[in-house]
Amino acid sequence: MDRLEALAMRADAEVIFDEKTVQAAVDRVGDEICARLTEAYPLVLCVMTGGVVFCGQLLTRLQFPLDFDYLHATRYGAENEGGKLAWRAAPWKSVKGRTVLVVDDILDEGITLAAVRHSLLQQGASEVLVAVLADKAHGRPKPIAADFVGLSVPDRFVFGCGMDAGGAWRNLPAIYAKKESA
């Protein structure tokens, strides 16, 4: 996508959740995580690249000691590796014996996050919790449920707040969706 295509996409989109609503959701998720993990000294793992906006905002709301790292994982299509997880960047810090909080932008199909969770548990994490800014309500079963959810988004192409549209618009402070065809 080039600059003009990105601008056209943004111009033809509608706001699903404005910045104020997004920030209220981040506040609420931060409060829920504090209530659950204040005594845990967790390892917080940001899922790159989509999770960086939400994770950065969320970290400032967590008023307890924690360790921080990141991961970048992707899933190959079934024709390549049968959906196995490929680590572009594994966490540097050990998860063994730790409570781990994985932070991502959106829970869509859930296959990659489920594989990340499974891998972290196999590496010895004592508990793996998942926080997402958005959970897509598409009505199909998911192999994982997030422990902390900011907002439920409709089954539409959404972007902003870390979610991209062809590589663009992760930086928007609100959540947008492509307009539905009439």
The structure's pTM equals 0.92
Q: What is the pLDDT of residues 112-154, one digit of tens each?
A: 999 999 999 999 999 999 999 999 999 999 999 999 999 999 9
Question: Average pLDDT of 77-82?
Answer: 42
- Topology, domain 21-153: Rossmann fold (3.40.50)
Q: Which of 108, 147, 155, 164 is catalytic?
A: 108
pLDDT at 80 over 90: no
Q: Is 108 a catalytic residue?
A: yes
Would you call 57 exposed, middle or buried from its count of C-beta atoms within 10 A (0-12, 13-18, 19+)?
Answer: buried
Give the domain ranges of the chain. Answer: 21-153
